[in-house]
Amino acid sequence: MIVADPLGRHLISDIEIHTWLQLDSIYVLHNKPSTQKQGTQTTSKFKGVYTQIESVGEALKFDAAQCDRAMTPMSFNGIDPLFMYTQLLKEALLQIEEDDTKSIKELVDYCRLQDDIPTGHIDKVEREYRDHTPIWWYTTPYFIYSMLNRGLRLMDVDIILKMGFFIRHLHKDIETLHRKQQSTETLTESFQVYRGQGLSLDNFKKMQNTTGGLMSFNNFLSTSRDYKISFMYAQSVAMNNDLQSVSIIFVMTIQPTLSMTSSIPFVDVRTTGYFEEGEEEILFSTHSIFRINQIQHIHDDHTDRLWQVNLTLVSDQDNNMKTLTTYLSQNLTKEKGWSRLGDILIHVGEYSKAEHLYHILLHKASSNTETKHYNDQLAIVYQNLGEYTKALSYYKDDLERNLTILPPNHPQLATTYHNIGLVYLKLGDHSKALSSHERSLEIRKVALHPNHPDLATSYNNIGEVYRNMSQYTTALSAYEQSLDIMKNVLPPNHPDLSTAYNNIGAVYAHMGDYVNALSSYVQSLEITKISLPPNHPDLGTSYNNIAGIYSAVHNYKTTCSQIKLSEMSHIFSDFT
């Protein structure tokens, strides 16, 4: 808000206005120099008194840049679901191959529909996009940086769709320049880069809770080799007295040899960026991963909201990251590009965004195969949104189409019956759920070999229905058939085996057989500890299940007399 005196002074003194979430800043325009010292106010919304409108413009530019920096999208291992999909999301965005000319036109047309982008900037992109490098465009004071940052921060499907080509171009540009700079420079020792910015209290608490662990910057990350410039940014943010944020100076240690084994390139953009005489800026490609080493408070005479966070760049070949990425990849569809992005949105719980994306892709579908896949994904979306009737409608439509074009024992029909059975179970219609899963199993028995993993899935689904019907003996039989097949076709530490043992443990627990329940849960835990990273949520589920057995038994000593004391002590010490 830009206001003139005397209204400006009235607004500053109005306590209520400073509680408005929609209002970020107040700039007061006065025809005489202010005797009031700027920056000493108790509210962060008041930015100062200015005698020239041009000065207000400059202040707005600076504050807008600070706002962009403060809203850098981040995710933290063990806290944010998106972190687990960081590398898969990056792969999906970089795999998209589209016609560049068409993509540029679609971006320009989209920008013209917005009301906050200067027409001259849009025209320049339309005329001159190919005349400059992607790094140059990213570092310009135009809309590219802020729009891309907003799209990746909010996972805004429309923006990401329109800027997908630029994400790919910018990454390739950084990658190419990185190789060139690495071949001409002989950096062998680690060096440091810096970044000053504001950080919300929510993200700061997440960061504190992740100390020693990993975090990801989920956009292209600008840093500086100049500590003083970065500290100035951090200090200026701290002086705003915003009680909902703190000010951070990141000190990032980079090991040059890491670039030889990692796909996280970084470049010095002084010679290729928009500002030729600018600071020594180091630009990292998107979704770079760092380890949080230390967080310490910085003493400052003017503010107590200034912190230093020491980070170390981590290779995407880190063992824990590779294990996690491999596991998660197995649970995604085999599709690539935009469809893979939709699948990731489903897995991180962004169902409405996935719905929006798949409707757009469905409109653009160029084959029956694509149409079927997008409809199947929409059914999964509606299933997760709890709109089971709508999901069932999609699955039934799919079944009707397939029954007319496929032989009666085609595996694809088995998959559709499988999906319909899952929805009926959610609707509480156990009879139809069981019928659908049994039909799926019949088809798979004919179409597949006896030890095919899909047969294990069918037996597991049938076990799930019987468990919900409280027919535990029948459920146990089905679960054990599923486990037997898995043992024959999967490696001994595969996560699906952990799930199978977990299901069997749950049935034993319902039957009151706590000895076998605990034994199954322990087997599930041991596999999970080997197959997944130490902070994976499934480990928490395993420990919780074991704790539930102790709670159900009520008598720890009695349980110990039934099971080897050494085994119980080991598990209990793990849990505590």
pLDDT 10s digit of each residue in the chain, 576 long?
A: 777 766 666 666 665 665 665 666 777 777 665 544 444 344 556 677 777 787 777 777 666 665 665 568 899 987 887 887 888 888 888 888 788 899 999 999 999 999 889 999 999 999 999 999 999 999 998 899 989 998 998 889 999 999 999 999 999 999 999 988 877 776 668 899 999 998 999 999 999 999 999 999 999 999 999 999 899 888 887 776 677 889 999 999 998 776 665 668 899 998 888 876 667 899 999 999 999 999 999 998 878 889 999 999 987 666 667 776 777 777 777 778 899 999 999 988 899 999 999 999 999 998 888 888 899 999 999 999 999 999 999 999 999 988 999 999 999 999 999 999 999 999 999 999 999 999 999 999 999 999 999 999 999 999 999 999 999 999 999 999 999 999 999 888 888 999 999 999 999 999 999 999 999 999 999 998 887 777 677 888 888 888 888 877 765 544 444 444 334 444 444 444
What single-letter DSSP state applies at residue 296?
E
In 3D space, the residue among 409, 384, 383, 412 whose CA is nearest the CA of residue 398 turns out to be 412
Which helix (H) or strand (E) segment holds residue 460: the answer is helix 453-468
Other CB atoms closer than 10 Å to residue 130's CB: what's the count? 9
C-alpha–C-alpha distance, residues 381 and 388, integer Å: 10
Secondary structure E strands in 71-127: 74-76
Decide if 370 contacts 180 (C-beta within 8 A): no
Other CB atoms closer than 10 Å to residue 420's CB: what's the count? 24
C-alpha–C-alpha distance, residues 316 and 320, integer Å: 9
Amino acid at 50: Y
Q: What is the 3-state secondary structure (H, E, C) of 125-193?
A: HHHHHHHCCHHHHHCCCCCHHHHHHHHHHHCCHHHHHHHHHHHHHHHHHHHHHHHHHHHHCCCCCCEEE
User: 288-297 and 245-254 as β-strands: parallel, antiparallel, unpaired?
Assistant: unpaired
Cis-peptide, bond into residue 6, ω within 30° of zero: yes
What single-letter DSSP state applies at residue 34?
-
What single-letter DSSP state applies at residue 259?
G
Other CB atoms closer than 10 Å to residue 557's CB: what's the count? 7
The reported pLDDT for the residue numbered 241 is 64
Other CB atoms closer than 10 Å to residue 282's CB: what's the count? 21
Phi, psi of 311 (to 5 degrees): -120, 160
The reported pLDDT for the residue numbered 278 is 64
Secondary structure E strands in 377-508: none
In 3D space, the residue among 466, 532, 473, 451 whose CA is nearest the CA of residue 499 turns out to be 532
Q: What share of the chain is helix, strand, coil (3-state, %, to 5)?
A: 60, 10, 30
The residues, ordered by sequence, that sit 6+ positions from 448 with a Cβ below 8 Å of its Cβ are 411, 454, 455
Residue-wise DSSP of 189-214: S-EEEEEEEEEEHHHHHHHHHTTTSE
Secondary structure E strands in 67-130: 74-76
Decide if 171 contacts 286 (C-beta within 8 A): yes
- Structural tokens at position 188: 């062998």
Amino acid at 258: L
Decide if 29 contacts 4 (C-beta within 8 A): yes
Residue-wise DSSP of 417-430: HHHHHHHHHHTT-H
- Structural tokens at position 528: 């999970």
C-alpha–C-alpha distance, residues 174 and 269, integer Å: 9
- Edge-first strand order for the sheet with 288-297 is 74-76, 214-217, 288-297, 306-313, 245-254, 191-200, 221-224, 281-284, 266-268
The reported pLDDT for the residue numbered 186 is 62
Which helix (H) or strand (E) segment holds residue 289: the answer is strand 288-297
Domains in the chain with CATH codes: 2-51 (no CATH), 74-324 (3.90.176.10), 387-481 (1.25.40.10), 490-576 (1.25.40.10)
C-alpha–C-alpha distance, residues 269 and 324, integer Å: 33
C-alpha–C-alpha distance, residues 440 and 432, integer Å: 12
C-alpha–C-alpha distance, residues 551 and 547, integer Å: 6
